[in-house]
Amino acid sequence: MELLPAVSIRDLKVRYILSEDPTYITNYKNARSLIRRIDRDELLQELVRKYSDHSRGALEIMKALSDRLPEGITLLSWSYVRDEGLSLRGESDGQDLVLQFKDALVEIGGDEKLFPVVNLGGFSSAKGGKQRFDIECSSVAEEEE
């Protein structure tokens, strides 16, 4: 009996894109017939464009953060999801430095602001007289009601 290697969902999608064989796509919620409606060449172009665009990649975001990080702030953790947002946790020598950093985050991306919504979660005391803070940055502007 021959064992088949484990195949991930990503592998199946790639196999479909390369072969145009819809059997690689699940039939759950009519996905197989929906995928047939998409032009394969357009799909490939969009995938290449998306994965070739490094302007919003994690390394570019980290560089933008480090360029704007004032002396006196230490980032303890960060989490970035492309096209969704950025979460930061850090410690600072003073609240004014964090407010300066928050304002600088809004400017990432120039006229096409990468994070149109930047929220400071507040301050708490940390060891050594430092201030701990959380900042949430959203890649999508909130819609006005």
* Cα 90-93-94 angle, rounded to 5 deg: 95
Distance CA 39, CA 34 (A): 11
135: its two tokens: 């900042």
Looking at the DSSP assignment, which residues form a beta bridge with residue 138?
A: 85, 117
Q: Is 126 left (phi over 0), alpha (psi -120 to 50) or beta?
A: beta
Greatest extent of the chain over all pairs of C-alpha atoms, in Å: 68
* Contact between residue 69 and residue 49 where contact means Cβ atoms under 8 Å apart: no
Note down pLDDT in tens along the chain; length 145 residues.
333 344 455 666 777 777 778 777 778 888 788 777 877 788 778 777 777 766 678 888 899 899 999 999 999 999 998 888 999 999 999 999 999 999 999 888 777 788 889 999 989 998 999 999 999 999 876 554 4
Domain ranges of the chain: 9-52, 58-138
pTM: predicted TM-score of the whole model, two decimal places: 0.63
> Would you identify the CATH topology of the domain 58-138?
Gyrase A; domain 2 (3.30.1360)
